[in-house]
Amino acid sequence: MFGLIDKVAIVWGGGSGMGEATALRLARAGCDVAVVDLDIALAEAVAAKISALGRRAIALAANVTDEQQVDRAVAETESGLGPIGVMVTVVGMAGFGPVLDITSEQWDREQSINLKSVFLTAKSVARTMVRNGGGAITAICSVSGLTSAPRHASYGAAKAGVAHLVRSMGAELAPRIRVNAVAPGTIETQRVKATEERIAAIERRVPMARMGSVDEIAKAVLFLSSDLASFVTGQTLAVDGGWTSQFLMDAHDSSSTDKDIDWEKVSNT
């Protein structure tokens, strides 16, 4: 169904969280996987899980903001596993703060880890995909790149750049290579914990009234990487429990967000 059997995938930031969940989903769908991470021990642990699933896997250490290290990991993946057909870039880091306090160094660091990382990895892999018959590239964006909010200027600008980059690359590289992004809402990870305060805020603003899981992001990436998305390119898919759709509804009709539905009555009629 997915058309991924025996395809080679490379997952940047595959050592934990959404990256690990994505690497495992791709392996279960039939991919051999190169797990790339700054932390080689994390990458090795995920590669071992993939081998246990009966797929080939290699673990590689690379910093996604360094072009030479990215190119070297791509070359090692191709020599170890074969031509790359699927690429996913998960690495990113949120830094929130008042726009007037952001230093030039912080700005550069955030653009580098969130946006330059996608450019370098997608460019390096796309060059090999062009030679090898095409493929699918997916980056992890954020709802912060689709909307604006106070204290999100730097991270939001970088993630908005990711949404734009996949539009541009999707248009430029079609029909050989599809390029898309997934924009997560609030997802429970090592860094983003389900604190009481966070849960309360989410219940107020997210229609589905909960955090998402790393596997819910992995499933969306799997869809975009697969033949099921064969006519989808240049898109950023929000996987956010309805969070960003609600901003639009708020602007047009605030009553439409009221939770005044009698679910029991509806399900019994």
Ligand X SMILES: NC(=O)c1ccc[n+]([C@@H]2O[C@H](COP(=O)([O-])OP(=O)(O)OC[C@H]3O[C@@H](n4cnc5c(N)ncnc54)[C@H](O)[C@@H]3O)[C@@H](O)[C@H]2O)c1
Min. distance of Cβ 240 from ligand X in angstroms?
A: 8
Three-state DSSP class for residue 265: helix
Q: Does residue 16 interact with ligand X by CB under 6 A?
A: yes
* 161 lies in the site for ligand X, by CB under 6 A: no
CB of 55 to ligand X, least distance (A): 20
- Contact region for ligand X (CB under 6 A) — 49-57, 63-71, 218-226, 227-235? 63-71
Q: Is 50 within 8 Å of 23 (Cβ atoms)?
A: yes
Kindly tell me the number of DSSP H helices and DSSP E strands found in the chain. 10, 7
Tokens of 246: 């609600």
Q: Does 19 bind ligand X (CB under 6 A)?
A: yes
Q: Is 155 a catalytic residue?
A: yes
Residues 6+ apart with CB under 8 A from 191: none
The nearer residue to ligand X, 32 or 37, going by C-beta atoms, is 37
Out of 22, 63, 138, 236, the residue judged to bind ligand X by CB under 6 A: 63
Smallest gap from residue 177 Cβ to ligand X (A): 21
| The binder of ligand X chosen from 9, 13, 24, 177 (CB under 6 A) | 13
For residue 261, the surrounding DSSP H or E stretch is none
Stretch that binds ligand X, among 24-32, 103-111, 130-138, 190-198 (CB under 6 A): 190-198
Tell me which of 2, 155, 223, 243 is the catalytic residue: 155
Backbone angles phi, psi at 49, to 5 degrees: -65, -35
Tokens at residue 71, please? Answer: 């190119």
Q: Binders of ligand X among 110-149, rule CB under 6 A? A: 113, 140, 142
**Quick one: 83 exposed, middle or buried, by C-beta within 10 A (0-12, 13-18, 19+)?**
middle
Check binding of 191 to ligand X (CB under 6 A): yes
Q: Note the helical H segments in the chain.
A: 17-28, 40-52, 67-81, 104-111, 117-131, 153-173, 196-205, 214-225, 243-252, 263-267
Q: Which residues bind ligand X (CB under 6 A)?
A: 13, 15-19, 37-39, 42, 63-65, 90-92, 94, 113, 140, 142, 184, 186-187, 189-192
Q: Would you please indicate which residues are annotated as catalytic (active-site) residues?
A: 155
